[in-house]
Chain A
Amino acid sequence: MYRIGVDVGGTFTDFVMEKQGGGSIAFYKVPSTPDDPSEAIASGIVEMLKRHSVDPGDIAYVGHGTTVATNMVIEHRGVPTGLLTTRGFRDVLAIGRQTRPSLYDWGVRKVAPLVERYRRREIDERIDRRGTALVVPDAAEIEAEVRALRDSGVEAIAVGFLHSYRNAAHERAVRDLIAKIAPDIFVSISSEVVAEFREFERFSTTVLNAYVGPRTRKYLHRLRDRIAAAGISVEPLTFHSNGGLLPVRTVEELPVLTCLSGPAAGVIGATRIGAEIGQSEIITFDVGGTSTDVSLITKGKPQFTSSRLVSGHPVRMPMVDIHVIGAGGGSIARIDDAGALKVGPVSAGAVPGPISYLRGGTEVTLTDANIVLGRLNPVALLEGRMKVDRGLAETAIRTKIAEPLGLSVEAAAAGIIRIATANMSRAIRSVSTEHGHDLSQFALYAFGGAGALHAAEVAEECGLDRIVVPREPGTLCARGVLLSDVSRDYVRTALIVAGDAGWGEVVAMGAGMREDGEAWLASEARSEAAHELRFTLDARYLGQSHSIAVPLETLDAAAMTDFIARFHAAHNDQFGYRLDDQPVEIVNIRLKAVRFVEKGAAPEAEAGLTLAEAQIESRQVYFADGWAPTPVYRRAGLPYGAPFSGPAIVEEMSGTTVVLPGQRAELDRFGNIHITRAQG
């Protein structure tokens, strides 16, 4: 049996297929079909199966990462949506946190809410902070408002009432009424999407869920049908932004969970590869066409954050913490009017793209600099499938950058790379300082189309001693999907001080959440596989507004002392002090339900190869000391355990690795390239 992981990107859809139980791995890539991403997924799978002579009936697993929901928000392609909220609060969605998006630039505007003001309607109801219903909503009023919304053309309704994280009765009553009078309308209630306090973020997340709900559902059905039509009998799983997979049913209900999930899969992939080779301290470095995604893995675990923006709209969901900057292969290099050379954040994107890609690009990009210096293959990329024109790039760099600065073409191209390196390095330093870590203990995991191209210089700039480049780095996100488990996160706000009285309440709330989690696990198709339920408490010293996450072994009556001790220790670790006499407040209870997925053992590299056989050619490549004849190797032909010195270039379908003079590279038995500084 075989397992397939898929990652849908803006330009390409990537596939990785492994044999269950280990032994072989295959990588594939086809152009994406943005109008209906399921088309490329299905046709790519069919082509890949044909290529490798695998019967569709032998596919035991399909998981995919998708940007369908995210793109719907970015491109304003969700459905007309309404909001029902507490009387007096319909503008919460428009006020947001009352900040303007740019401190200095008045041309940058606050995003418009996804629900227009006339479709944000108020219901006479009120619950107080303890969950007591002060005003109970009237069914006739609700009906009238729902009809008004339906008549205005909405296909989805979000319901968000104040303090519903404490008492969901009013929201549920409204949901049930809508189901009765307008059963075709997609409904999301805030207490079910994210039962956390702070109304704006909860409402925003709920509205976003409703807005993308109907069309995500249609997409999932198309995908399911196409996969079934291809002869595959398993239902496709979908990757979520907290680094796990969801069944179709859950995504239909909570599509918002998949927003921003793409880059998270790469981080999970890096975590698992690190575990295979015994590395637990990792900086992930994922460089694509328009952006660089950086994240930190410590003690073998990615870092998580509780909220991010999707096209300006806050989404409150636990998710892998990724720092994104606008630097990628398509980043445009320009000299500004006062004579400084800037690289990015403006990008030429996939279209028109770099000048050398011949898709109409006219601005010098980072990729053009790499081609001019011979770092990227100056003839063709993607294993020869895509022709490039080095001459055009050279001319553009000469006239636009080199001559105005009084430099040679090489020095100008190298300068573009140095500046991009400096930008990317700043992102890496900021991620590590943010989490209070010393960079020198970390290995840099380079992936994405251009990560391995820049990792060597970025590592030097940041003082990192080790680089790891996984096989086919451009498809690591698809591989991450293959290396993940099915999981779902639950949260409820407590705001309870840890003490004899309050703890009982926390334990009781936790028990309710555990029931939900168990019910979800039981309803899942692979219900026989091993599972786990893990609690985490977000806590703070009473009076603070900033909480930290404290993982627990169990949540029962006896666990309080252990929790308080862990909280003090964690606070001391993160902030450098503890206040032993200060009461500790539990802000949120979090539960993660995990169903483990059986994965193949890491495929080992082929034996019996030699370096000489792996060498494709020797070409001139420009480094700090000038042009140097540089061996170019084919990744798949490289032997493991046979170190080679830089300068060297390693090419494969989805990426190019640069080894600088003075560096040394070697493959491990799984085929990962390790680059270190040469000794002496």
Chain B
Amino acid sequence: MTQVQAQAETPAAGFDAIAMEVFANRLLSITEAMAINMMRSSFSTQIKERRDFSVGLFDAGGRLVAQGTHIPVHLGSLMGAVDAVLARFPRDQIAPGDAFICNDPYVAGGTHLPDISIATPLFVEGRLEAFTVNIGHHNDIGGPVPGSTSALSRSIFEEGLRIPVMRVCRGGEIDEDLLAMIALNTRLPEERILDLKVQIATNIRGGEQTRELIHRMGAGAFRARIEDLLDYTRRRLALRIATLEGRGQGHFTAHLDDDGIPGGDPVPLCATVGVEAGRLVIDFAGSGPEARGALNIAQNALRATAYYCVKALLDPELMANSGMMDAIDLRAPVGTIVNPADPAPVGSRTIACQRLAGAIFGAFQPLIEPAQRMASSYDVLPSFDFSGRDPETGKYFICGETVGGGGGARNDADGMDGIHVHITNSLNLPVEAMENEAPLMCREYGLRPDTGGAGRWRGGMGIIRTVEALHAGTMVSARSDRHSAGAPGSEGGAPGGTGRIRRNPGTPREEELSSKIARLPFAAGDTLCIEIPGGGGFGPPADRPDDLLAVDLRDGIFSEDHAREVFGHEKVARVLARLKTSAAG
């Protein structure tokens, strides 16, 4: 941060910079130990491999103090559960040995039903001092479609089991009856019980370490250092917000291709960003109505998306705690896709969250320092899965994958090729792993030339992945977006390429599919080709230095024809001539 003109507010009386830093490290040791425990002990790939979970520590008042998370979609996702516990139970009804469970987005602060939270109060010498909390994505929570996240659900009742805030432990004993009831409503009951027990144990372990810390430093000092930490985070974010002041408002609209139901109209996602009385306000007015399909963004998913954007755009090192979150106002009109009403479906909100993150990024652009500006990224979480019975083993298989696209160009660099953006960052499924796990064969896995938006800096390229079903009776589902318009460029940059999904490309049976398909039957030898959008360019294409364009052409990042179209004949001819000379020399 260079040109910060804002004056730091003075720290509160008693603020101890050194003790706070030591305390922050001790707290992070606790959340790190909780996260490691979740990962080591859980069974499901979602938690163990994809790290689709989050852990955190709250104070007695329900303020988030420290959080450990590996994907931004969980930023702040724990807050809903603690708020729900405190709203549901008066303080005197919370006792040592309790633990609470919940997942419902409408009554218990959840994000979608597969994300189950456990919150565990910590008492020291009879006094409630803290909560240890975690949330984990379970592979299935019931409903008609395996995985419980179909975009085609028409209400939350089609998305699986809804759990309000309930006690899952009393006096330190697990309520096995409740666990059995939850497990029976899911497709993999043993796995559910195993993972839920790991979640319960993780909080107990984090609680023990917090208890040790309180014994070591004293409850008074523990509380004082929490104040220091939250106060510090708040002041630090206030400095960043102050740099935006006087720059007016920024506004941006992204359009989802449809509302989750094939043939649906495009849905606008609007964000307006500004500073009001020192507070950061993000207003989503203008966003489309509640979606018919499961693209609705429940309150906690909205928070996570907004917090991610603020952290990424204003201060990536900012600690995720209530000191940060309390300075941000989110305004989402009731009955819209960003503030749906019970029982609107929310299962596949991730695509909508990605597009919304893109809208918030766009809205921030005029307010942030020019050096930090960037064009739009592909802003989707495309995914596909193949399922069926493997005739060789006789077993049912399901093989799913999310696919990366192009990052937006920045004001000083090209966009990154083939990455996850914004609220997710999952590893791919290697080709060799996929072919060993399921009767499938990958025909192509590469970057898509001509999909990075042209500009002074080019956008990142999207990925192309072509997968063949080896046996008849294979079912294919896929979800993507941005099939109708590419990621916009910035400051004169061109948009990135759009996405598309085809069946049997390059054959007489080739057909283009819509961006959201569910359970399409494939014959043996049929291929699915999913092409992911690229990122937008930054600055006028004419300003791209010849030596960079030469590399683009040499490396086939742009084809000659496309380059002529977007960079102009003259520039391309000049660069090509130079390439030929250097090759000859």
Contact = CB atoms under 8 A, between A and B. Distances in A.
B41 A426 contact: no
Given A429-B33, A433-B37, A338 B432 contact: no
Given A95-B418, A197-B430, A430-B29, A495 B17 contact: no
Given A103-B425, A104-B316, A340-B21, A199 B430 contact: yes
B20 A545 contact: no
Contact of B445 (A92, A340, A546): A92
Interface in A417-457: 418-419, 421-423, 425-426, 429-430, 433-434, 436
A104 B72 CA distance: 8
A116 B555 contact: yes
Contacts of B40: 434, 436, 574-575
Interface residues of B, number: 72
Contacts of A94: 417-418, 447
Interface string B67-79: 0001110000000
Interface string B43-81: 101001100000000000000000000111000000000
Contacts of A198: 430, 432-433
Given A118-B554, A199-B431, A405-B17, A98 B404 contact: yes
A165 B445 CA distance: 19
A336 interface: yes
Contacts of B421: 100
Contact of A341 (B21, B26, B70): B21
Interface stretch (B173-181, B436-444, B565-573): B436-444
B36 A99 contact: no
A575 B36 CA distance: 11
Interface stretch (A105-113, A498-506, A651-659): A105-113
B555 A117 contact: yes
A116 to B, nearest CB: 6
Nearest to A201: B430
Contacts of A544: 43, 45, 48
B219 to A, nearest CB: 20
A491 to B, nearest CB: 15
Interface string A110-129: 10000011100000000011
B487 to A, nearest CB: 14
A336 B236 contact: yes
A96 B446 CA distance: 11
Contacts of B28: 426
A98 B15 contact: no
B444 A89 contact: yes
B26 A338 contact: no
B189 to A, nearest CB: 14
Contacts of B444: 88-89
Nearest to A405: B17
A277 interface: no
Interface string A399-423: 0000001000000000100110111
B13 interface: no
From B43, B71, B194, name the one whose CB has the most chain A CB atoms within 10 angstroms.
Answer: B43
Contacts of B556: 117-118
B194 A577 contact: yes
From A99, A128, A434, name the one whose CB has the most chain B CB atoms within 10 angstroms.
Answer: A99
A180 interface: no
Contacts of B232: 338-340
Interface in A572-625: 574-577
Given A104-B308, A162-B432, A430-B32, A415 B418 contact: no
B277 interface: no
Contacts of B72: 103-104
A288 to B, nearest CB: 20
A200 B429 CA distance: 10
Contacts, number: 189
A104 B25 contact: no
A342 interface: yes
A441 B41 CA distance: 22
Nearest to A196: B432
Interface string B413-455: 1001111110001111011110110000111111100000000
Contact of B416 (A105, A110, A425, A433): A110
A335 interface: yes
B479 to A, nearest CB: 17
A624 to B, nearest CB: 13
Contacts of B557: 117
A625 B32 CA distance: 32
A336 B24 CA distance: 15
Contact of A426 (B32, B71, B433): B32
A90 interface: yes
Given A104-B316, A342-B21, A422-B22, A95 B236 contact: no
B400 to A, nearest CB: 13
Contacts of A197: 430, 432-433, 436
Contacts of A116: 551, 554-555
A102 interface: yes
B214 to A, nearest CB: 15
Contacts of A117: 555-557
A337 B239 contact: yes
A429 B435 CA distance: 39
A97 interface: yes
Nearest to B407: A100
A556 interface: no
A545 B21 contact: no
B266 interface: no
Contacts of A577: 41, 43, 194
Given A95-B404, A422-B25, A105 B446 contact: no
Contact of B410 (A106, A163, A425): A106
A176 interface: no
Given A89-B444, A106-B374, A339-B15, A429 B29 contact: yes
A225 interface: no
Interface string B210-248: 000000000000000000000010011001000000000
A366 to B, nearest CB: 14
Nearest to B71: A103
B432 A90 contact: no
B22 A338 contact: no
A433 B205 CA distance: 11
A91 interface: yes
A426 B17 contact: no
Nearest to A198: B430
A326 to B, nearest CB: 13
Contacts of B99: none
Given A425-B25, A433-B33, A545-B49, A97 B431 contact: no
* Ranked 9 nearest A-B pairs via Cβ: A98-B404, A117-B555, A104-B316, A338-B236, A415-B18, A422-B25, A88-B444, A105-B316, A91-B446
23 contacts: A88-B446, A94-B418, A95-B428, A95-B445, A98-B420, A99-B404, A99-B427, A100-B420, A102-B316, A103-B71, A105-B312, A107-B410, A116-B554, A338-B232, A341-B21, A419-B22, A422-B26, A430-B33, A436-B40, A544-B43, A545-B45, A576-B41, A577-B41
Given A99-B427, A575-B40, 14 more contacts: A90-B446, A91-B446, A92-B431, A95-B447, A98-B426, A105-B316, A109-B413, A118-B555, A162-B431, A338-B236, A405-B18, A419-B22, A495-B436, A574-B40
